[in-house]
Amino acid sequence: MASVDPIEVVEGHERLTEIFGGWPSFHDAEVTGIRLERRGRDEWEGPIAFVSVHVCEGYREDERSTIVKWRKHTVVTFRFSRVVDVSMTDFNQQNAIWDLTFETGRPESTDLTWVGPAYRVTFQPSFGVGFSFVCASAEVDSVEGTCPEGSVYAQPA
């Protein structure tokens, strides 16, 4: 499988790139929710996966500072269609991921004849959930400028 630039795959990526000035780093982002549905907008689009992720940008107030602060808190919900070959492990109270990757690939275990593009999407685990699957398409379903309650990235009061 070959890596694919998410901007080439994810419809509506502009909703994120406008906030972050490019595709954000998902290193240490937190998966806040995963929802699987068997049917999509029509009978051919399902199964569907919705994955919500808290992503933010770390910065230092000056070059010598050792303190990292966080800004641009955003919860993005992705919508993936024709989801197969699902693998999920270790969902927990934080679900920090190492990275979010997209690769070209074909489903390994499906009795359906696959037509069109296929992408392996991997939420690589750091602490908590590891989640991967093959899908036909990806899109930004929603974007909310917020830091989820209980996030380790919330600024102290």
Q: What is the pLDDT of residue 156?
A: 63
What's the rounded Cα separation, in Å, for the pair 40 and 80?
10
Q: Name the strand (E) or helix (H) holding 51.
A: strand 48-59
| Single-letter code of the amino acid located at 128 | G
* pLDDT per position as a tens digit, 35-76: 999 998 988 889 999 999 999 998 898 888 888 889 999 999
Is-above-0.85 flag for pTM?
yes
User: Do the beta carbons of residue 54 and residue 19 sit within 8 Å?
Assistant: no
Per-residue pLDDT 10s for the chain (157 aa) are 799 999 999 999 999 999 999 999 999 999 999 999 999 898 888 999 999 999 999 889 888 888 888 999 999 999 999 999 999 999 999 999 999 999 997 777 665 677 788 999 999 999 999 999 999 999 999 999 999 988 988 866 4
Tokens representing 150 are 């209980």
What's the rounded Cα separation, in Å, for the pair 114 and 97?
29
Best CA proximity match to 123, nearest among 57, 28, 11, 36: 28
Q: Assign 3-class secondary structure to 77-132.
A: EEEEECCEEEEEECCCCCCEEEEEEEEECCCCCCCCCCCCCCEEEEEEEEECCEEE
What's the rounded Cα separation, in Å, for the pair 13 and 35?
20
What's the rounded Cα separation, in Å, for the pair 134 and 150?
31
CA dihedral defined by 94, 130, 60, 15, rounded to 10 degrees? -100
Rounded to 5 degrees, what angle do the CA atoms 113, 80, 130 make? 100
